[in-house]
């Protein structure tokens, strides 16, 4: 589950609001919250896209009668009180340069269209996504509302600043090195190639620390693996960077800034709508423009 979904479930639980969560898998970090019932619809095949589409069509059958329905995935099958859109598939394909949607792409787009059409109200994570839904899915803008995702400042804050030197030392980063943090589980989508090309001619003191499951092979890269201690990594870094091809919002931005570390964001990231210097330095998504601020 995405972090904003976990936050939403926790928020309802803390307020004593009972919730039924319908998901393909559940791997809750820590003890499960009170007043929350999990209904798991397990995958039936080894094919990810088929499983996604199957879930989108089956999930509605497990809602609780009389309860308000919030659509997070591309659920079809009936009316939804509120859908939450963290981005659209059609815009994602365009930003990837995929001009002709494949079979499953068409299924995803059709499911999104059905969800938006059946929703009484839609919340988007950025103005960019709002405009995509109006333009590409022909949805009435009157029922779409932009609500930027919240940040848990009880978790992401500056309390670790006094331990910054110790954290950097534990990572093997010297005091004179410039540490760029790159949180990524999809290096191609998050712009790893562009970032590395921009750093090729920079001072050798630059270190790109990758926080994510997949390693990135490059002499200037420090692979940290999947991490739960993101506040410590944000605190240790001199800057956090993303050059995503498509990013509906990008919680990495406000999380990093909340820990006292500025971000370098390409203008394709939704959070750039609300972040500004000196917290966020924005660049056009090109090697030349990134080099201009690196």
* Domains of the chain, start order: 41-146 (no CATH), 161-293 (3.40.50.2000)
* pLDDT tens-place string over residues 113-126: 999 999 999 999 99
pLDDT for 1 beyond 60: no
Tokens read off for 82: 């509120």
**How many residues in the chain?**
294
Instruction: State the sign of the Cα–Cα–Cα–Cα dihedral 284, 271, 159, 241.
Output: negative
* pLDDT tens-place string over residues 55-111: 999 999 999 999 999 999 899 999 999 999 989 999 889 877 888 899 999 999 999
Grade residue 239 by pLDDT with cuts at 50, 70 and 90. Answer: very high
Grade residue 246 by pLDDT with cuts at 50, 70 and 90. Answer: confident
Grade residue 5 by pLDDT with cuts at 50, 70 and 90. Answer: confident
Q: Of the candidates 102, 92, 126, 232, which has an alpha carbon nearest to the alpha carbon of residue 171?
A: 232
* CA 228 – CA 110 distance, rounded (Å): 36
Grade residue 294 by pLDDT with cuts at 50, 70 and 90. Answer: low
pLDDT given for residue 61 in this prediction: 95
Cβ distance 188 to 214 under 8 Å?
no
Ramachandran region of residue 271, left (φ > 0), alpha (ψ -120 to 50) or beta?
alpha
What ranges make up the beta strands (E) of the chain? 19-23, 36-40, 70-71, 80-85, 119-124, 144-146, 178-183, 206-211, 221-225, 239-242, 263-266, 280-283
């Amino acid at each position: 589950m995405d972090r904003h979904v976990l936050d939403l479930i926790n928020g309802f639980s803390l307020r004593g609001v009972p919730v039924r969560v319908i998901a393909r898998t559940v791997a809750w970090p820590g003890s499960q919250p009170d007043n929350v019932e999990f209904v798991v619809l397990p995958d039936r095949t080894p094919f990810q896209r088929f499983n996604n589409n199957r879930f989108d069509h089956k999930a509605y059958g497990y809602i609780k009668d009389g309860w308000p329905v919030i659509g997070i995935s591309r659920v079809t099958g009936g009316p939804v009180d509120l859908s939450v859109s963290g981005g659209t598939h059609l815009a994602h394909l365009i930003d990837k340069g995929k001009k002709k949607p494949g079979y499953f792409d068409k299924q995803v787009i059709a499911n999104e269209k059905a969800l938006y059409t059946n929703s009484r109200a839609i919340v988007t994570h950025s103005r960019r996504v709002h405009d995509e839904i109006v333009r590409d899915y022909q949805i009435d803008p009157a029922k779409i509302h932009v609500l930027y995702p919240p940040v848990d400042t009880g978790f992401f804050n500056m309390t670790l600043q006094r331990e910054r030197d110790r954290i950097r030392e534990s990572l093997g980063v010297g005091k004179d090195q410039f540490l760029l943090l790159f949180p990524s589980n999809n290096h191609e989508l998050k712009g790893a190639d562009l970032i590395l090309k921009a750093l090729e001619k920079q001072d050798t003191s630059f270190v790109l620390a990758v926080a994510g499951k997949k390693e990135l092979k490059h002499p200037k890269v420090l692979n940290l693996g999947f991490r739960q201690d993101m506040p410590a990594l944000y605190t240790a870094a001199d800057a956090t960077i993303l050059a995503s091809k498509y990013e509906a919002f990008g919680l990495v931005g406000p999380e990093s800034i909340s820990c006292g570390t500025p971000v370098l964001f390409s203008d394709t990231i939704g959070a750039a709508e609300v972040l500004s210097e000196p917290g966020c330095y924005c660049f056009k998504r090109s090697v030349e423009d990134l080099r201009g601020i690196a």
